[in-house]
């Protein structure tokens, strides 16, 4: 059984004490590939170093997290990202998007930067990994407007309704499902019931959002097994089938 964690911040300082052991636990659990989303220039170096240490196993994305979109630093951050993307060393543009949960004061700038990232992704034929928090409609509208038949990607940590999941599928995108599917009353079980697994990729968002039975603890990539098992339970199929379908989806999406 081979799994892919399509979204994990394994370069986080929360792993500084046991990063090598943590990666080995993931590999030992059957996680054959792990994809690292970018945050901003403060984490680029550690992210790149981790991907370089595990060729063929850990891959990097590049982009600016919407919570790092700030007027006083945006020009420098985007210059760095554009330069890094030009190297061809990244499998996706991400994580990018709109976050209106913490602060709405830069919403228009977030929208502008999200759209610019999408233009870069289209030019480079790369998928995008979308962070959408309290901003599904805003993200969807931009994606829908930019969809020219070539745009592809994933709505990371999907946490909306089955109806919105269908909108994601209809616009040609995948649903990133992580630990929240194991949370009681999260509603993600209803999403999984409603959609075909051909539209789903698995993720952890480690070190955040650890699944049951590790909820409240530091998350790590090996815990993706619990996500796969929960989906298998909901769909009433074998976990091996969940692993096979979602891993094939990730290969197709990220062209690996």
Q: Which pLDDT tens digit goes with each residue over 13-28?
A: 999 999 999 999 999 9
What DSSP assignment string belongs to 78-117?
A: HHHHHHHHTTT--S-EEEEEEE-SS--TTHHHHHHHHHHH
Residues of the chain scoring pLDDT < 50: none
Identify the pLDDT of residue 223. Answer: 98
Residues 6+ apart with CB under 8 A from 255: 91, 127
Residue 103's CB is within 10 A of a number of other CB atoms, namely: 13
Cα–Cα dist 235/242, whole Å: 9
> pTM for this one?
0.97
Structural domains in the chain plus CATH codes: 3-254 (3.20.20.140)
| pLDDT for residue 19 | 98
Query: Tokens 């990097």 belong to which residue?
Result: 60
Q: What is the pLDDT of residue 102?
A: 84
Please give the Cα distance from 65 to 13 (Å, whole number).
17
CB within 8 A of 142, min separation 6: which ones? 111, 114, 115, 118
Q: What is the pLDDT of residue 135?
A: 96
Burial 10-46 (b: 16+ CB within 10 A, else e): bbbebbeeebeebbeebbebbbbbbbbbbbbbebbeb
137-148 b/e (C-beta count within 10 Å ≥ 16 → b): ebbbebbeebbe
What is the side-by-side strand order in the sheet with 200-202? 93-99, 128-133, 153-156, 174-177, 200-202
DSSP 8-state symbol, 230: H
In this predicted structure, what is the pLDDT of residue 103?
Answer: 84
The token duo for 68 is 């790092």
Q: Could you give the CA distance from residue 17 to residue 61 in angstroms, rounded to a whole number? A: 24
């Amino acid at each position: 059984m081979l799994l892919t964690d399509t979204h994990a911040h394994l370069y986080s300082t929360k792993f500084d004490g046991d990063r090598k052991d943590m990666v080995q636990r993931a590999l030992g659990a059957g996680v054959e590939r792990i994809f690292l989303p970018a945050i901003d220039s403060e984490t680029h170096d550690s992210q790149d170093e981790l991907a370089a240490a595990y060729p063929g196993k850990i891959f990097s994305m590049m982009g600016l997290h919407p919570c790092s979109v700030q007027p006083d630093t945006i020009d420098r951050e985007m210059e760095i990202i554009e330069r890094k993307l030009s190297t061809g060393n990244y499998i996706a543009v991400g994580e990018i998007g709109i976050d209106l949960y913490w602060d709405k004061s830069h919403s228009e700038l977030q929208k502008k930067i999200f759209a610019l990232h999408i233009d870069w992704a289209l030019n480079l034929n790369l998928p995008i990994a979308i962070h959408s928090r309290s901003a599904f409609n805003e993200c969807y509208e931009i994606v829908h407007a930019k969809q020219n038949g070539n745009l592809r990607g994933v709505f990371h940590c999907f946490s909306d309704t089955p109806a919105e999941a269908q909108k994601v599928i209809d616009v040609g995108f995948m649903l990133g499902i992580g630990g929240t599917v194991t949370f009681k009353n999260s509603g993600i079980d209803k999403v999984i019931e409603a959609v075909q697994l051909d539209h789903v990729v698995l993720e952890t968002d480690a070190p955040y959002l650890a699944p049951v039975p590790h909820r409240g603890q530091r998350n790590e990539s090996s815990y993706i097994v619990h996500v796969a098992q929960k989906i298998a339970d909901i769909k009433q199929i074998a976990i091996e089938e969940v692993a096979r379908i979602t891993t094939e989806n990730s290969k197709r999406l990220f062209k690996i």
